[in-house]
């Protein structure tokens, strides 16, 4: 069974390079001594860890303070999962672990990194054994937060007694020796969910997560326009005499280039031009209209559904040969200046507004479009109703660019200050998303399950939606514990979610 998790808020942290930790020299000395390698607490504790952590070959794990690397190597050997080993002493790894790094480069990796600085990576799972007791007291909370931010669920093994091997270099090693209750208090201060905890004579085990359910985050979100505003705009727009969209015969030999605004567009320009030159229809979503015009591509049609006033800029200037497919919920300014002969109004399948449509058109005399909360997810059923079945989809990434600097292929300030969090698909590849992107990905999965037999889709680019199709990944709506589906996101205060049928901000 696959699993998907959503991570903690904020931009991907940056590593402070060249800021030496004085503790590093201590451990570089220790790893040069064979006596310090004799015992690997992480390796010894793997059976108990595996009894609680549902790892598969698709899982991605970070070993925080990996030491010899023997625990990471055994995890890979037993479960086939990908493990990133992290330590600030480069000479820590055992020889056979170094060999395994070269033999299995796609599954095993080592990263030299100081746990006192945030991580430039995320994973579904983590382990941190025989590490926290070595952290200086004033750095404990920082290190703990960094680790819990980098992985959804983390297995901690922490010693509660003084060390015995500091005598090898004449310095103490266990700098933070505390009781079970003290450590539990630190986890609770970070808002952790504790899945398992147990106290032993010389150490404690804690399996925890600081990520909270995404449903809680979505509940804090707000729709793009309030329902009463939506009703007012629909009532005004449907009274203006615009042509309505009606079902058409299947056009078996026609193909559509459907262009959203995702960051991957620029890398696909040549492909779009080639397909357009082959005579395929070109349909744009929101501000992708301008992107196409700016690159010498005239759309066959454009689709707008978001209810906010700024969307009016997405349909100007009016160009010859383009049809304007506008949802009845848009701000009335979107319709201003559009040609009556080439503009068609359509309606989303929100039953709370059917009374308005019934009064205007007559009950059963209009065709409501089902689908998700974004223009892309409505455009597919809309165009299918118009008879199109095969789609070449561009710019439907549903994630940020890999450097997290771009949410669209063009400037769109309405999306500049939204929350960002990592999404790990099948405990594997990590994508960074804004809330509306994650919402779209979940709804896309649902749409494909319900309506996938009606479409033939080819997605281009390296975004989240294409990855989901290629790997048969899923982002279901329910939570199933232990090996099932997981969601989490770290303490977001307010998010703007394209909920229900209110559309995205030009995606």
CA distances from 66 to 43, 60, 78, 84, 378 (A): 10, 15, 17, 9, 47
Alpha helices in 88-166 (DSSP H): 95-103, 140-150
Enter the pTM of the model: 0.59
Rounded mean pLDDT of the chain? 83
- Asked if 400 and 420 count as a contact pair (C-beta separation under 8 A), the reply is yes
3-state secondary structure of 16: coil
Q: b/e string for 53-76 if b means 16 or more Cβ within 10 A?
A: bbbeebbbbbbbbbbbbbbbbbbb
Q: Looking up tokens 């779209």, which residue turns up?
A: 440
Amino acid 282: pLDDT: 97
Q: Compute the CA torsion angle 28, 33, 36, 40 (nearest 10 deg).
A: 80
| pLDDT score of 265 more than 90 | yes
> Is it true that the peptide bond before 317 is cis, omega within 30 degrees of 0?
yes
3-state secondary structure of 130: coil
Say how many C-beta atoms besides its own lie within 10 A of residue 279's C-beta: 8
Amino acid 423: pLDDT: 75
In tens, the pLDDT along 391-450 reads 999 999 999 998 888 888 888 887 766 677 777 776 567 788 887 888 888 888 888 877
Assign domain 27-211 one CATH number from 3.20.20.210, 3.30.390.10, 3.40.50.150, 3.50.50.60. Answer: 3.40.50.150
In this prediction, residues 276-292 reach a mean pLDDT of 96
Give the whole-angstrom CA distance, residue 501 versus residue 264. 25
Give the whole-angstrom CA distance, residue 462 versus residue 403. 13
Give the whole-angstrom CA distance, residue 392 versus residue 456. 9
Give the whole-angstrom CA distance, residue 118 versus residue 226. 38
Q: What percent of the chain has pLDDT over 70?
A: 84
Say how many C-beta atoms besides its own lie within 10 A of residue 253's C-beta: 7
| pLDDT score of 70 more than 90 | yes
| pLDDT score of 12 more than 50 | no
Could you tell me the residue ranges of all domains in the chain?
27-211, 216-471
Comparing CA positions, the residue from 250, 292, 299, 303 lying closest to residue 269 is: 292
Give the whole-angstrom CA distance, residue 481 versus residue 405. 34
Give the whole-angstrom CA distance, residue 265 versus residue 283. 14
Give the whole-angstrom CA distance, residue 506 versus residue 261. 7
In tens, the pLDDT along 342-353 reads 999 999 988 899
Task: Give the chain's largest Cα–Cα span.
Answer: 88
- Asked if 330 and 305 count as a contact pair (C-beta separation under 8 A), the reply is yes
Amino acid 378: pLDDT: 93
């Amino acid at each position: 069974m696959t699993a998907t998790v959503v991570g903690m808020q904020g931009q991907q942290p940056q590593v402070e390079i060249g800021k030496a930790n004085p503790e590093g020299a201590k451990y570089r000395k220790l790893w040069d001594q064979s006596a310090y390698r004799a015992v690997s607490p992480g390796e010894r504790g793997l059976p108990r860890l595996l009894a609680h952590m549902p790892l598969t070959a698709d899982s991605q794990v970070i070993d925080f303070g990996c030491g010899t690397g023997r625990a990471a190597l055994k995890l890979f050997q037993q479960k086939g999962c990908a493990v990133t080993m992290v330590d600030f002493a480069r000479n820590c790894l055992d020889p056979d672990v170094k060999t395994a790094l070269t033999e299995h480069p796609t599954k095993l990796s080592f990263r030299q990194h100081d746990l006192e600085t945030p991580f430039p990576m995320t994973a579904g799972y983590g382990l941190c054994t025989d590490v926290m007791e070595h952290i200086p007291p004033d750095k404990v909370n920082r290190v703990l937060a960094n680790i819990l931010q980098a992985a959804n669920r983390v297995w901690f093994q922490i010693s509660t007694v003084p060390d015995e091997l500091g005598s090898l270099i004449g310095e103490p090693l266990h700098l933070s020796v505390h009781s079970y209750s003290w450590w539990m208090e630190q986890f609770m201060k970070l808002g952790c969910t504790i899945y398992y905890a147990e106290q032993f004579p010389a150490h404690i085990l804690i399996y925890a997560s600081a990520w909270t359910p995404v449903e809680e985050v979505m509940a804090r979100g707000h729709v793009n326009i309030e329902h009463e505003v939506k009703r007012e705009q629909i009532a005004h727009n449907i009274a203006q005499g615009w042509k309505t969209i009606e079902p058409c015969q299947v056009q078996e030999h026609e193909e559509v280039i459907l262009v959203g605004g995702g960051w991957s567009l620029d890398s696909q320009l040549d492909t779009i031009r080639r397909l357009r030159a082959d005579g395929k229809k070109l349909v744009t979503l929101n501000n992708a209209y301008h992107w196409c015009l700016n690159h010498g591509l005239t759309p066959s049609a454009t689709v707008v559904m978001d209810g906010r006033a700024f969307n009016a800029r997405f349909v100007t200037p009016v160009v010859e040969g383009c049809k304007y497919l506008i949802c009845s919920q848009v701000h009335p300014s979107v319709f201003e200046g559009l040609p009556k002969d080439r503009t068609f109004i359509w309606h989303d399948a929100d039953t709370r507004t059917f009374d308005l449509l019934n009064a205007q058109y007559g009950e059963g005399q209009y065709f409501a479009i089902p689908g998700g909360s974004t223009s892309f997810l409505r455009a597919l059923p809309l165009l299918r109703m118009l008879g199109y079945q095969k789609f070449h989809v561009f710019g439907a990434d549903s994630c940020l660019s890999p450097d997290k600097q771009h949410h669209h292929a063009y400037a769109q300030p309405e999306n500049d200050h939204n929350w960002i969090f990592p999404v790990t698909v099948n405990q594997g590849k990590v994508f960074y998303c804004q809330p509306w992107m994650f919402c779209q990905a979940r709804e896309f999965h649902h749409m494909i399950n319900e309506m996938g037999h009606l479409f033939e889709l080819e997605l281009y680019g390296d975004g989240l939606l294409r990855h989901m199709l290629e790997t048969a990944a899923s982002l279901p709506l329910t939570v199933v514990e232990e090996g099932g589906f997981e969601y989490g996101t770290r303490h977001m205060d307010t998010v703007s979610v394209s909920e229900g049928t209110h559309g995205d901000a030009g995606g």
